[in-house]
Amino acid sequence: MGLSPVRSHKVPDTGPPSDDKGGPSGRPFSSRRAKAPKPASPTLFSPDPAGRFEIFLASVPGGEDILRQEALSLGFAHPRAVPGGVRFTGGWSHVWRANLASAVASRVLVRLAQFEAPDLKRLAHQLAAFPLSEVRSPLGPVRVEAQCAKSKIFHSGAAAQRLIEALDQHGVEAVEGGEPQSPDEVPVPRLMLRLDHDRATLSLDTTGTPLHRRGLKRDVGRAPMRETLASHFLHQAAWQPEEALLDPFCGSGTFLLEAAGRATGKLAGRGRRFAFEGLQSFAPDSFEEVAKATAERLAPQKTPALALWGSDLDPTTIAAAKANAARAALADQLHFEVRGISDVAPPPGLAAGLILTNPPYGERLGDPQALRHLYATFGKVLRERFGGWRVGVITSDERLAAATRLPFAAPFAPIPHGGMRIRLWMTESLA
């Protein structure tokens, strides 16, 4: 399927994939090789019979270990956490599976080339040697983006122009940047060129619209939590489907929707389209086979009786959460109700579980004094009514967490979100 991805000799072979079937023709891209380049040229990846190449799953900073755990659970062999994400060796079925099934990754990249590029002339020469004709799309001009960091080439526009010119030499029309697209649409392919310390990395974005855009949650409240972050925190809180889950500040229902999707084995990307569908060499029938096999892989042998409850003071917000659950085909698994924090109580018949919530905080929503009072009330309600329950609170403000007077352990590492750094504060079961 398209280009033969390349790598530097410094990129380690992380071992064979677990069950890759390759691309539509059993190989990652076309298996033909370019003529042996001079030493300065990029080193073409030599696909083995299984059609392996380097795949990079991008995460939020600080989310790499959780993403690695998820990659293992999805059957990817030897995933390695690195700054900014997780990398492993695989083929096109792995690229497709990662886009469809990862609930934590923000996007999936195929690493095409890595080479030294100390100046624009060398960059242009290296790019022209690469078989770029195979990124052609029937949807329109290929999108190109470039970033420069701590390199002699410091102008990203100049770097992007060299990539556009190299594409033109191979008969591929390209433009820099491009308008964001809906997850309902198949985006044109995007090539991403990054220069860091005079070393260039060329990647193909196989995702398009970031993966937190599931294409299912159309109704959102104020300052919503991204779906990928919600899944990250569910993993961090060690939630399992057998445990009751309650979100008393549920908003549009993100935590509960992600939990229900995981418990029922639904593919996180089932409601959206992907950038790899815009490649001219994309084979829909092969993709459908992989999608079916991935769904069967994730389907639980027996779905546990789920206890997933959400509440919020705003009736409009609860109506939106119910609409989102119906759109995601999860309405039967979730319970939503209008209820203020002072009225929150354990759902009927539930003596223990996990409270995981993302209350208003600081710059996000509300006045500081009113927020401290809200957190104090929240903590008092939990201490008085929720003995036996674990509590997880996500906030950017240590003072708000302290206002609850809950017995939190040391918080997890902060995660960037919306210009702030948020973290999860967890308790053991309350007395």
Assigned domain for 267 exists: no
Q: Give the pLDDT of residue 26.
A: 33
Write out residues in the chain with pLDDT < 50, as ranges: 2-48, 364
- What is the domain count for the chain? 2
Q: Give the pLDDT of residue 320.
A: 93
d(CA 279, CA 273): 13
**Same-domain status, 402 and 338:** yes
Q: Which helix (H) or strand (E) holds 231?
A: helix 227-236
**Same-domain status, 329 and 403:** yes
**Same-domain status, 201 and 315:** no
Side-chain half-sphere CA neighbours of 212 within 13 A: 16
**Same-domain status, 196 and 254:** no
**Same-domain status, 184 and 240:** no
Assigned domain for 117 exists: yes
- Total Cβ atoms within 10 A of residue 77: 18
- Could you tell me the pTM of the whole model? 0.86
Q: Give the pLDDT of residue 335.
A: 97
**Same-domain status, 284 and 335:** no
Distance of CA 89 to the CA centre of its chain: 18
**Same-domain status, 254 and 124:** no
Query: Could you tell me the sign of the dihedral formed by the alpha carbons of 122, 124, 128, 134, in that order?
Result: positive
Query: Could you tell me the sign of the dihedral formed by the alpha carbons of 227, 228, 234, 240, in that order?
Result: positive
Assigned domain for 76 exists: yes
**Same-domain status, 165 and 233:** no
User: 190-201 burial, b for 16+ CB within 10 Å, e for fewer?
Assistant: bbbbbbeebbbb
**Same-domain status, 162 and 235:** no
Q: Give the pLDDT of residue 219.
A: 65
Identify the CA nearest to 28 among candidates 113, 94, 97.
94
Of 252, 282, 303, the last residue of a domain is 303
**How is residue 132 written in tokens?**
């770029």
**Same-domain status, 245 and 159:** no
Assigned domain for 325 exists: yes
Q: Give the pLDDT of residue 367.
A: 78
d(CA 7, CA 43): 6
The CATH number of residue 258's host domain is: 3.40.50.150
Structural domain range at position 192: 1-215+272-303
Of 251, 280, 303, the last residue of a domain is 303
Amino acid residing at 19: D
Q: Are 420 and 380 a contacting pair, CB within 8 Å?
A: no
**How is residue 265 written in tokens?**
């084995």
Identify the CA nearest to 93 among candidates 293, 231, 364.
293
Assigned domain for 62 exists: yes
Burial of 155 (0-12, 13-18, 19+ CB in 10 A): exposed
Of 253, 282, 303, the last residue of a domain is 303
Query: Which ranges constitute the DSSP H helices of 132-248?
Result: 156-169, 227-236
Assigned domain for 222 exists: no
Assigned domain for 119 exists: yes
Residue 421, classed as helix, strand or coil, is strand
**Same-domain status, 164 and 236:** no
**Same-domain status, 337 and 291:** no
Identify the CA nearest to 267 among candidates 427, 409, 101, 406.
101
Assigned domain for 221 exists: no
The CATH number of residue 170's host domain is: 3.30.2130.30
Q: Give the pLDDT of residue 418.
A: 81
